[in-house]
Amino acid sequence: MRMSGQTRSGDSHIHLFEHGFESVATSPGTSEVEQYERLRVDWGIGDALVVGYEGEARFAGNNAYLAELARTRPWIRPLAYIGPGTVPEDVARQLRSGFDGISVYLTEGATAAATEAALRGALPAVTARGGIVSLNVAPAHYGALARIAASSPDTVILVSHLGLPAVGASSREDAAAGVRRLCSLARHPRVHVKLSGLYALGPLDQDDAIRPLLRAFGPDRMVWGSDYPVVLGHESFAQTRAIPALDELTDAERDLILGGTLARLLERVGRT
C-alpha cells in the first residue's frame, strides 16, 4: 500500500544498530542503514523516528551511534534511549545534541518503577523542546502511562506496537481486554498509538486490535511504523504496509496514518 495523493510517507518506529540486529540478514555487502535507505526509496518514506535501545549489553552505545548517523542523514530523527538509571541532565544533553525526544521501555516488572522515575525526570526537558516520547509499554504498566499522560498533558507520547496487548495475556479475551484498556487512554489528547509490531499481537487478529483503536484515537492519532529491522525476522517489509483496516479509510485518513501525523509532530520539535 503506497501513499495516495502527494503526502510523503513517514516511519514512526525503526531501529539502527551498529553491528546489526540478531539473525536479521541484510543484502550481501549492505549495512543495516544502507538497506533501509533503499526501502525508503522503494516506499517513498521521508523521515523516520529511530528508536534508541540500549537495554541489553550488546546494544550499548546505540545513542552515540544514532547521533553519528544523524549528522549526515537528515531523514534520521533519533530518539535517545533512557533506562532506569538515566538522570535529567543526561536527557537535556541528548536533546541539545540533536535528539528529537526519548525512547523508553516500560515493560519489565523488575525495573518498571525505576524506569518510570527516570521518565518523569526527563519529561520537563522533552516537553519544553516539543519532543516526542516513544514508549514501549504493555498492559501491566498502562497505569504508569495514564499517570504520565495526566501529569504531563503537553507531552507527545507515541505508544509502540499497539500497546503490546498480548504481553502477559493468557487468552484472546485477555489480549482484547488490553486493547480496551488502551482505548480508554484516548482521553489524553497527546497520547498517540503506533500501528507497528503487528507480528506481536499473539492470539488477536489485526482487526481485533486496530479497529477499536482507530475508533478510540482516530486516524490523526495513529501513526504507521515498520519496526525495521526487527520485523524482518517475522514478515517482509511489504507486509507491514498490507493492513486491510486501512483500506476502509479515506485517502486523507490513510495519509495521516502513513506519514501526515508524524510530519506534524516532528514539525513541533524545537519550536515550543
Do residues 259 and 1 make contact, with C-beta atoms less than 8 angstroms apart?
A: no
DSSP single-letter state for residue 190: T
Residue 129 to residue 178: CA distance in whole angstroms: 32
Q: How many residues are present in the chain?
A: 272
DSSP single-letter state for residue 168: T
What single letter denotes the amino acid at residue 228? Y
CA atoms within 13 A on the CB side of 151: 14
Q: Name the average pLDDT for the chain.
A: 93
Q: Residue 107 has what pLDDT?
A: 86
Domain boundaries, position 67: 9-268
Indicate the Cα dihedral angle 70, 76, 77, 82, nearest 10°: -70
What are the C-alpha distances in Å from 123 to residues 37, 88, 128?
Answer: 31, 8, 8
Residue 4 lies in a domain: no
Residue 100 lies in a domain: yes
DSSP single-letter state for residue 259: I
Q: What is the pLDDT of residues 120-138, one digit of tens each?
A: 999 999 999 999 999 999 9
Beta-sheet strand order (sheet of 156-159): 9-14, 45-51, 76-82, 101-106, 132-137, 156-159, 191-195, 222-224
Residue 21 lies in a domain: yes
Q: Residue 29 has what pLDDT?
A: 65
Q: What is the pLDDT of residues 195-210, one digit of tens each?
A: 999 999 999 999 999 9
Q: Residue 65 has what pLDDT?
A: 97
Local confidence band at 27 (pLDDT 50, 70, 90 cut-offs):
low
Residue 235 to residue 237: CA distance in whole angstroms: 7
Residue 3 lies in a domain: no
Residue 1 lies in a domain: no
Local confidence band at 6 (pLDDT 50, 70, 90 cut-offs):
very low
CATH of the domain at 104: 3.20.20.140
Compute CA 198 distance to the chain's CA centroid, rounded to the nearest angstrom: 13
Mean pLDDT within 100-119: 92
Percent of the residues in the chain that have a pLDDT greater than 90, as a whole number: 89
Q: What is the pLDDT of residues 50-108, one digit of tens each?
A: 999 999 999 999 999 999 999 999 999 999 999 999 999 999 999 999 999 999 999 87
Domain count, the chain: 1
Is a pLDDT exceeding 60 seen at residue 2?
no
Q: Residue 270 has what pLDDT?
A: 79
Please tell me the least confidently modeled range out of 12-26, 98-112, 231-245: 12-26
Residue 130 lies in a domain: yes
Q: Residue 22 has what pLDDT?
A: 75
Do residues 143 and 114 make contact, with C-beta atoms less than 8 angstroms apart?
A: no
Q: Residue 30 has what pLDDT?
A: 77
Is a pLDDT exceeding 60 seen at residue 23?
no
Mean pLDDT within 34-51: 96
Q: What is the pLDDT of residues 166-195, one digit of tens each?
A: 999 999 999 999 999 999 999 999 999 999
CA atoms within 13 A on the CB side of 200: 22
Collapsing DSSP to helix, strand or coil, 132 comes out as strand
Percent of the residues in the chain that have a pLDDT greater than 70, as a whole number: 94
Q: Residue 108 has what pLDDT?
A: 77
| 177 grid coordinates | 481486554
Which of 84, 91, 233, 81 has its CA nearest to residue 160? 81
Element (H, E) at 223: strand 222-224
Do residues 99 and 79 make contact, with C-beta atoms less than 8 angstroms apart?
A: yes
What are the C-alpha distances in Å from 244 to residues 1, 127, 206, 210?
Answer: 10, 35, 9, 10
Which is more confidently placed, 158 or 26?
A: 158
Residue 60 to residue 33: CA distance in whole angstroms: 18
Q: Residue 24 has what pLDDT?
A: 60
